[in-house]
Amino acid sequence: MSTASIVVAVTAFVLGALLALLTIPVLVWLERRIASLVQDRLGPNRTNVFGFRLGGVVQSFADVVKLLLKEEYYPSHIKKGRWLFMLAPVITFAAALLAFMAIPFADTLHIDGEALRVQALPIDYGVLWYLAIGAIGVLGVIFGGWMSHNKYALLGATRAGSMVISYELPLGLSIVSFIVTYNTMDFNAMVQWQSGTFFGFLPAWGIFVQPLAAIILIISLFAETNRNPFTVAEGESEIVAGYMTEHTAMKFAMYFMGEYVAMNTASAVIITVIFGGYQVPWVSTEMMLAHFSGFALSLMIAIPVIVFLLIRWMRKNNTVRPTVSTDSGRNFETKVLSIALIGMTLLIEAILLYLAFFANSPLGESISVMLFQIVVFVVKLMAFNIFFILIRWTVPRFRYDQVQHLGWYYLLPLALLNLFVTALVVVGVNS
Amino acid sequence: MNQNNITVIPRHGDNFKDKLFLPAIYDGVKVTFKHLFENVTDINAVDTLEYPEEQPTDITSRYRGLHRLTHRPDDSIACVACFMCATACPSDCIFIEATERDDDKDEKMPKSFFIDTLECVFCGYCVEACPCDAIRMDTGIFSLTGNSREDFVMDKEQLLSHKGAFGEEVSCARD
């Protein structure tokens, strides 16, 4: 193994862990902020560190500290199997976290003839890994609900079990359609397949190539992450907190964070399989590398525009109404953040200028393309997470027998039909 | 029963479009996204009171705020310790001790006058019952804070020190 491969592997692993773990507080904050903005409220916007509130995202870190310092309480009626009671949230959390690791964040890096995957787990059977590990998550829910010896928890766990049998089959079958279409089980190869065009003008994204399978995949993944409209394993109005009724402090936080990691993972899978992953539409990695100076120039124009719009938005919205007596340091924060953003823009501009016109370094070029793709991936990931959150605050819940009805009577036959047609078309095209 | 009086409410959900769910979800997301987008692009248009920094401006003169004891035009207490308010009080939170009054204005005045605001239900019956316009709830004070239960028991001096928020300062029934 060369030094480069070790560096890339470690970087990709750190990146995967950070993307999965650091998005939790951001997602919790986004959920609360978007919920309130949708309902014409403000949401958490006050917590700050030395006047830096970053829109209120600091609140999530305060929440983590609070949950860590809570009393560790164990229900006394749990006699045997307390270890399983404690292990259950960890299973859910770890499964969601591990499933995320198979997602590619950028195209394969070619350094000195070595092909290095930018994936936390450099495996080429990512789809299988995701399906296998992702399905374990529900075991934590079932164990936790069963070991709680509580009727609400048990009902929540049985409902989670009923969910599994309703969505796993359509999920698997829709993914099989994608495997047949892309002719691969490697997430990265799937993304590369989607870099072309479809009918000459559409980007060849899964959503355009396989619209029915894409919709089934999105619906099944909403069910898998236990989010609205499929929150059946918990429900304040009928079964309290469901399977996590008896879990307190960090045990509860593990379930809670696991839910958000699962949502993040589902978003990552959706954008990788049907929204072109880290690719910008119509532009493949090879094109960017071949015309690097053009790519750098367009970035050098786009970044200042984006930063300008961001600063303008911040100057308008990081303020308070004139009727409010104090702005609590928002002006100062805007100034510091603007200076930091402008400084970073200048730095990036300088680096791009150097790489595009003065240096002839293929390594630097491929690394900057990789960084660009990671940024695109994160932007798409966050956009889809916001879509997840928006759906939660839009639609009411299904009853759990309605979910089974939906899964078995509609999604499963549709997925089978879609698979059949896909197979026919693929065989017809290839023969 | 006349058949014409029966209104049949149209049932939804039987046609293909409703069973598909997706058009309805699209419509819903359109609404929520519109709200989200408008509020993200102009956060100060969100009609929310940023409470401690921003105080409400819509408290009307009929709002039942914290109680006060009014004065006469010569700044002496208007209350004659008739116990009407304490009798009318449904939560028994007014405690009055009467004493003789020696300035020839009236015969009695309260020696002590306590209102336990933790017991008070802010019904305003005391204000209605008072024959001397001596107790009012027009201070406009809606938030009351303290560190102990005793902080919430208002005594005569505190009640006299509250100012009316809507112009009428002195008692209209005593001169």
Between chains, do B40 and A37 touch, taking CB under 8 Å as contact? yes
**pLDDT(A162) > 70:** yes
**pLDDT(A91) > 60:** yes
> How many angstroms separate the Cα of A316 from the Cα of each of A321, B41, B55?
11, 8, 23
**Nearest CB neighbour to B39, from listed A37, A316, A390:** A37
Q: How confident is the model at residue B166 (pLDDT cuts 50, 70, 90)?
A: confident
Prediction pTM value: 0.82
**pLDDT(A1) > 70:** no
Q: What is the mean pLDDT of residues A233-247?
A: 80
Coil, strand, or helix at residue B59?
coil
Q: How far is Cα B95 from Cα A425, in angstroms, rounded to an integer?
A: 89
* Tokens 């950070």 found at: A18
Mutate to test the interface with B, among A33, A317, A327, A382 (most CBs of B within 10 A): A317
Interface of A with B (CB under 8 A): 34, 37-42, 215, 313, 316-317, 319-321, 323-326, 328, 390-391, 393-395
Q: How are beta strands A104-111 and B108-116 bridged, if at all?
A: unpaired
Start-to-end Cα distance in chain B:
66
In chain A, residues with a C-beta closer than 8 Å to the C-beta of B31 are: 394
pLDDT of residue A383: 92
Q: Using only C-alpha atoms, what is the Rg of chain B? A: 27
Rounded to 10 deg, the angle between the A330-353 and A292-317 helix axes is 170
pLDDT of residue B92: 92
Q: How far is Cα A243 from Cα A138, in angstroms, rounded to an integer?
A: 11
ipTM of the modeled complex: 0.83
Mean pLDDT of chain A: 85
Q: Name the token pair of A53.
A: 């509130």
Q: Which of residues 83-122 of B touch A (CB under 8 A)?
A: none
State chain B's maximal CA–CA distance in angstroms: 88
Q: pLDDT higher for A236 or A221?
A: A221
**pLDDT(A204) > 90:** no
pLDDT of residue B2: 63
**pLDDT(A89) > 60:** yes
pLDDT digit string, tens, across residues A44-78: 888 888 878 888 888 888 888 888 888 888 888 88
Q: pLDDT higher for A20 or A305?
A: A305
Cβ neighbours around A403 below 10 Å, total: 21
Q: How far is Cα A16 from Cα B35, in angstroms, rounded to an integer?
A: 33
Q: How far is Cα A232 from Cα A156, in angstroms, rounded to an integer?
A: 7
Mutate to test the interface with A, among B35, B44, B57 (most CBs of A within 10 A): B44
Q: pLDDT higher for A75 or B96?
A: B96
What amino acid occupies position A246? E
Q: How confident is the model at residue B118 (pLDDT cuts 50, 70, 90)?
A: very high
Between chains, do A317 and B36 touch, taking CB under 8 Å as contact? no
**pLDDT(B140) > 90:** no
**Nearest CB neighbour to A394, from listed B29, B39, B54:** B29
pLDDT of residue B96: 92
Q: How confident is the model at residue A339 (pLDDT cuts 50, 70, 90)?
A: very high
Coil, strand, or helix at residue A245?
coil
pLDDT of residue A407: 87
Q: How far is Cα A87 from Cα A68, in angstroms, rounded to an integer?
A: 17
* Tokens 């065009």 found at: A197
Q: How far is Cα B108 from Cα A330, in angstroms, rounded to an integer?
A: 57
**pLDDT(A235) > 80:** no
In chain A, residues with a C-beta closer than 8 Å to the C-beta of B18 are: none
pLDDT of residue A3: 79
pLDDT of residue B87: 93
Q: How close A152 gets to chain B, by Cα (Å)?
A: 30
> How many angstroms separate the Cα of A32 from the Cα of each of A39, A50, A226, A256, A404?
11, 22, 17, 14, 29
**pLDDT(A127) > 60:** yes
**pLDDT(B25) > 80:** yes
**pLDDT(B1) > 60:** no
Q: How confident is the model at residue A22 (pLDDT cuts 50, 70, 90)?
A: confident
Do the beta carbons of residue A307 and residue A345 sit within 8 Å? yes
pLDDT digit string, tens, across residues A390-419: 998 998 888 888 888 888 898 899 999 999
The residue extents of the domains of chain A are 3-22+82-278+398-430
Q: What is the mean pLDDT of residues A12-38?
A: 88
pLDDT of residue B9: 86
Do the beta carbons of residue A276 and residue A197 sit within 8 Å? no
- A160 in the Ramachandran plot: left (φ > 0), alpha (ψ -120 to 50) or beta? alpha
Comparing alpha-carbon positions, the chain B residue that sits nearest to A411 is B20
pLDDT of residue A305: 93
Percent of chain A with pLDDT strictly greater than 90: 13
